[in-house]
Structure 1
Amino acid sequence: MPLSDIVRTLNSPSADGHSDFLRRSGLDHPFVAVDGRVFIHYANIRLESKFLPIVDAASGKSHGHASTIQAFGLSSKLPMSPEAVFVLPTDAEEFVYLDRLVRTLHALNYLTQPVRGNLLLRVHARHILSVPANHGLAFEEILRPCGLFPDQITLEIDTDRVSDPAHFIRAVASYRSRGYAIAVSHFGRTTLDFAFLAALQPAIVKLDKRLLAARRPLERIIADIHALGARVLIEGIDSGRLRRHAGLQHIDLLQAHAPLTRPAGIRVAADAGNWARLDAAA
């Protein structure tokens, strides 16, 4: 289905399964398609997708991309941080639907990427804790008209200081049962909870920059993560020292760091072939 038709379907008040999503989010035709790209208009803010290359550390081949948002005031044109956008919802229900809306935005824009692969999409911990059950079902129904399926998606989850671990474990099990892979981000920021990590059964574990900056020996930590069947990922700019020795450290995946926010219309590299240029720019 052409991108414009998908956007029309998602914006349609009569679209089965999607009208409820948009109505409960309080948004009227939030998706805007321009020149083959899709944006969201929310609370007088324009949200855009950016995709950060992830490559295999050993081979340099593309694994896929991590998604992030760039936000600008519709009137002021001034940039906002992603964190600031997620402060705007007034209750848990609105937060859940904004979080889901942003992931839908990334799924739509990923369809136009020349080099694709697996897509990492962030799911906020507040979203997970706010949804009582059947995690992943609503998003799977939204993905279907986009031509994407759960086995093409890795859901990236921050597990630091989770208030209800049992609920979190059940939620992640529901995601995995639907075919989504799980990536745990910011591992080692405040603690190294391998028991919780094992219960979540992630496919990818992203080491936190604080852990990398601490200069503590990582060999045992990485070995323990590998023993759980997960791959270890580090982000580029914050871990240049380790990037040069990724093979020696047994690091599996390298992710480009999020670029500085810039005005709409300026493209950033979105394929593994541009990794060297991103690396040099760091």
Structure 2
Amino acid sequence: MPLQDLVEYFNDRFELEHRSTYRPFILENGEVSGLFGPIRIDSIFSPLRQTLKPTTIVGHTAQITVATHKTPPLYSNEIENIRTDSSVQATNFESIINFDRLSRTVHMLNYLALPRLQGLLFLEVDPRHILGIKQDHGAYFEEAIARCGLENKNIVISMAVFSQYDRYYQELINGLDNYRRRGYRIALKFDYIPQKNQSDLITKLSPDYVAFSAINIDSKIEETLYQLKVLVASVGGLSILQQIDDKKTDTLARNIGFDLVEGSYYRAIAFDYFDSAKPKKLNIPLSENR
């Protein structure tokens, strides 16, 4: 289906679900943006590479960029609906869920613009979204994924781990297991070296992928990272080191044995055609290694 037709389909779906004439998805110059109140959401994709063969791309992580956007006025009947119908008065959780869904739809539509589409698409899901959905996680997007010509098995649901959610780990595990039962792959993302109870989350969930940030790490914690890599492998997962910006950190990833890497360093060593960019600028043959 042409990208413009998909944009119209999702706008129609939004209108029906929210009883609004507001159409949040726009297509300009071959790229899809999403409007969330005064915010405009766009996509940037960053390649995930095999550590020992960085010219081999196994998938992309999707990240959002945001800019301000003038909010259109509501029609009088829409204002009346908001005033009188409590079901359309969004709670904090509902707003997060709507923002998450809007962002992921934008990413999927833009991912379709990548030439010779193959491989995996990593979509980050806010932990509050998982906690806010009580059951059937991932059901909302199954039709959308199929409509985009994708499959659940090629979508990786990635959740960042934060210490403030420690007491809710079981609920988060249950929600991520719901995604997995629908065929999605699961990833955990750590922006820091996890504590013992957070490492236990890896054992309990057995994610397909676990990502760690290369920011502020050095050879002094190489043994810790190695043990984490071993832990991920022990549950059948692949380890990822992200935000690699220099040769030293790339060497660290190789020495430890991370399976996949991602970062700006690889754009600076004659991989210009693999540059992280907006969809229309990418021309990447992808391959899936799992």
Coarse TM-score class (shorter-chain normalised)? 0.7 to 0.9
Kindly state the Cα deviation for residue 27 of structure 1 after the two structures are TM-superposed.
7.8
Tell me the SS of whatever aligns to 2:231. Answer: helix
Cα displacement string for residues 17-75 of structure 1 (whole angstroms, at most 9, x for unaligned residues): x5554x18x78210001122111122122211100011111222111100001111125
Tell me the SS of whatever aligns to 1:174. Answer: helix
The equivalent of 2:106 in structure 1 is 105
- Which amino acid is the alignment partner of residue 43 of structure 1? G
Say if 1:245 and 1:164 are closer, same or farther in 2 by CA, change over 3 A: closer
Kindly state the Cα deviation for residue 189 of structure 1 after the two structures are TM-superposed.
3.7
Counterpart CA distance in 2 for 1:239 and 1:230 is 25
Q: TM-score normalised to the size of structure 2? A: 0.77
Counterpart contact for 2:42–2:65, Cα < 8 Å: yes
Counterpart CA distance in 1 for 2:16 and 2:65 is 26
Q: TM-score normalised to the size of structure 1? A: 0.79
Counterpart CA distance in 2 for 1:30 and 1:140 is 20
The equivalent of 1:28 in structure 2 is 22
State which structure, 1 or 2, has the greater radius of gyration over its C-alpha atoms: 2
- Where structure 1 has 5 or more consecutive residues not aligned to the other structure, the ranges are 76-88, 260-265, 274-282
- Which amino acid is the alignment partner of residue 103 of structure 1? R
Counterpart contact for 2:209–2:238, Cα < 8 Å: yes
- Counting helix residues as a fraction of each chain, which structure ranks higher? 2
Cα displacement string for residues 164-198 of structure 1 (whole angstroms, at most 9, x for unaligned residues): 11111111111011111111001654414332212
Matched, 1:195 2:200: yes
The equivalent of 1:49 in structure 2 is 43
Counterpart contact for 2:115–2:284, Cα < 8 Å: no
Counterpart contact for 2:239–2:258, Cα < 8 Å: yes
The equivalent of 1:254 in structure 2 is 261
- Which amino acid is the alignment partner of residue 42 of structure 2? E
The equivalent of 2:172 in structure 1 is 168
Say if 1:215 and 1:20 are closer, same or farther in 2 by CA, change over 3 A: farther
Say if 1:184 and 1:48 are closer, same or farther in 2 by CA, change over 3 A: same
- Name the Cα RMSD after superposition: 2.8
Kindly state the Cα deviation for residue 242 of structure 1 after the two structures are TM-superposed.
2.8
**Which structure is richer in relative contact order (CA contacts within 8 A, separation 6 or more)?**
2
- Bigger mean CA offset, 100-109 vs 185-194: 185-194
- Where structure 2 has 5 or more consecutive residues not aligned to the other structure, the ranges are 71-89, 268-276, 286-290
The equivalent of 2:57 in structure 1 is 62
Counterpart CA distance in 1 for 2:243 and 2:282 is 14
Counterpart contact for 1:226–1:232, Cα < 8 Å: yes
Matched, 1:208 2:209: no
Tell me the SS of whatever aligns to 2:46. Answer: strand
Alignment counterpart, residue 250 of structure 2, candidates 229, 243, 250: 243
Kindly state the Cα deviation for residue 256 of structure 1 after the two structures are TM-superposed.
2.3
- Which amino acid is the alignment partner of residue 184 of structure 1? L
Counterpart contact for 1:201–1:228, Cα < 8 Å: yes
Runs of 4+ displaced beyond 6 Å: none
Paired residues, number: 249
Kindly state the Cα deviation for residue 211 of structure 1 after the two structures are TM-superposed.
7.2
Written as runs of structure 1 = structure 2, the 5 A alignment for 1:86-105 is: 91-105=92-106
- Bigger mean CA offset, 90-99 vs 149-158: 90-99
Written as runs of structure 1 = structure 2, the 5 A alignment for 1:96-135 is: 96-114=97-115, 116=117, 117-135=119-137
Kindly state the Cα deviation for residue 92 of structure 1 after the two structures are TM-superposed.
0.9
Counterpart CA distance in 2 for 1:211 and 1:237 is 11
- Which amino acid is the alignment partner of residue 58 of structure 2? H
Tell me the SS of whatever aligns to 2:42. Answer: strand
